[in-house]
């Protein structure tokens, strides 16, 4: 990719293909006393799209890059543009539009550090400012599942309190909520669709008709597919090869 802006001459940035997009939706999950999960949401304009990348080159080139970042601050703009992304450089997640310029700012910087006799690298945490998106908000087929998923009732709310005279009071949830957590493999296209689906559905109830290889997502005591649930948590684990991505997903049962 290329970096340009105030303080920069156009800089060809080589990054190591081990980045992980850090997307933080501007919502907070809250579990009510009856066990139901709800959200407090500040809206899509407050979502954060960041990535920690490691740039590598000769020492002189890395120092030039750091000096340009400093100059960018002196200009009091604190942002620059990235462009010319390769298909393996979709650092903010597969659903971002990389066809043009993306305005970014640097949140943190570490380095430079010598890694080889002539090779140096620096670690940058960059944030996309008002990115645009691609791909439709569509739930792809959930089919390529890693070994070792978790599907059960995570927290059985059996809360008994005895009184001075030995009588019991119960403060249980109205119902116990099933939780499913697993890691799924997606093609690049389906990863883009999955990210868009999650970021647009947000705290809504969704319906999932199947997860390949899973019969009882919330354990054998709970209903099977189709399931109504909320996507409680998700983590983009990055690219595993030029054509595939992984994501960890946690689903909470809606009863």
Instruction: Give tens-digit pLDDT for 37-96.
Output: 889 999 999 999 999 998 888 888 888 888 888 888 777 677 889 999 999 999 999 999
In angstroms, how far apart are the furthest CA atoms of the chain? 79
Which CATH class name applies to 2-128? mainly beta
Domain positions in the chain are 2-128, 144-253
Residues 92, 90: Cα–Cα separation, whole Å: 6
Q: How buried is residue 137: exposed, middle or buried, by Cβ count under 10 Å (0-12/13-18/19+)? A: middle
In this predicted model, which residue has the larger pLDDT, 121 or 166? Answer: 121
Percent of the chain with pLDDT over 70: 88
Residue 228 pLDDT grade (very low, low, confident, very high; cuts 50, 70, 90):
very high
Q: Provide the pLDDT for residue 93.
A: 96
Task: Give the chain's mean pLDDT.
Answer: 86
Structure tokens at 82: 């990235």
Rounded Cα gap, residues 112 and 62, in angstroms: 7
pLDDT of amino acid 193: 97
- Nearest CA to 136 out of 209, 186, 203, 195 is that of 195
Q: Which residue has the higher pLDDT, 115 or 236?
A: 236
Rg (CA), the chain: 23
Copy the structure tokens of residue 156: 């059985």
């Amino acid at each position: 990719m290329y970096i340009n802006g105030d303080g920069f001459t156009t800089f060809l940035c080589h990054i190591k293909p081990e980045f992980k997009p850090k997307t933080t939706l501007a919502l907070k999950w809250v579990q009510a006393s009856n066990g139901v999960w709800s959200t407090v949401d500040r809206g899509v304009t407050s979502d954060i799209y960041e990535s920690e990348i490691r740039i590598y080159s000769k020492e002189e080139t890395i120092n030039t890059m750091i000096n340009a970042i400093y100059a960018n601050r002196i200009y009091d703009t604190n942002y620059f543009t990235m462009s010319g992304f390769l298909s393996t450089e979709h650092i903010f997640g597969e659903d971002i539009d990389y066809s043009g310029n993306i305005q970014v700012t640097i949140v943190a910087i570490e380095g430079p550090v010598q890694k080889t006799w002539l090779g140096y690298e620096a670690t940058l945490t960059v944030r996309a400012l008002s990115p645009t998106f691609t791909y439709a908000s569509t739930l792809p087929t959930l089919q390529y599942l890693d070994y070792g998923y978790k599907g059960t009732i995570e927290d059985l709310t059996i809360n008994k309190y005895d009184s001075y005279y030995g009588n019991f009071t119960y403060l249980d949830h109205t119902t116990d909520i099933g939780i499913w957590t697993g890691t799924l493999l997606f093609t690049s296209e389906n990863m883009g669709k999955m990210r868009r689906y999650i970021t647009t559905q947000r705290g809504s109830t969704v319906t999932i008709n199947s997860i390949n290889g899973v019969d009882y997502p919330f354990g054998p005591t709970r209903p099977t597919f189709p399931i109504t649930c909320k996507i409680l948590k998700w983590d983009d684990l990055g690219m595993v090869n030029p054509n595939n991505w992984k994501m960890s997903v946690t689903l909470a049962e809606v009863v």
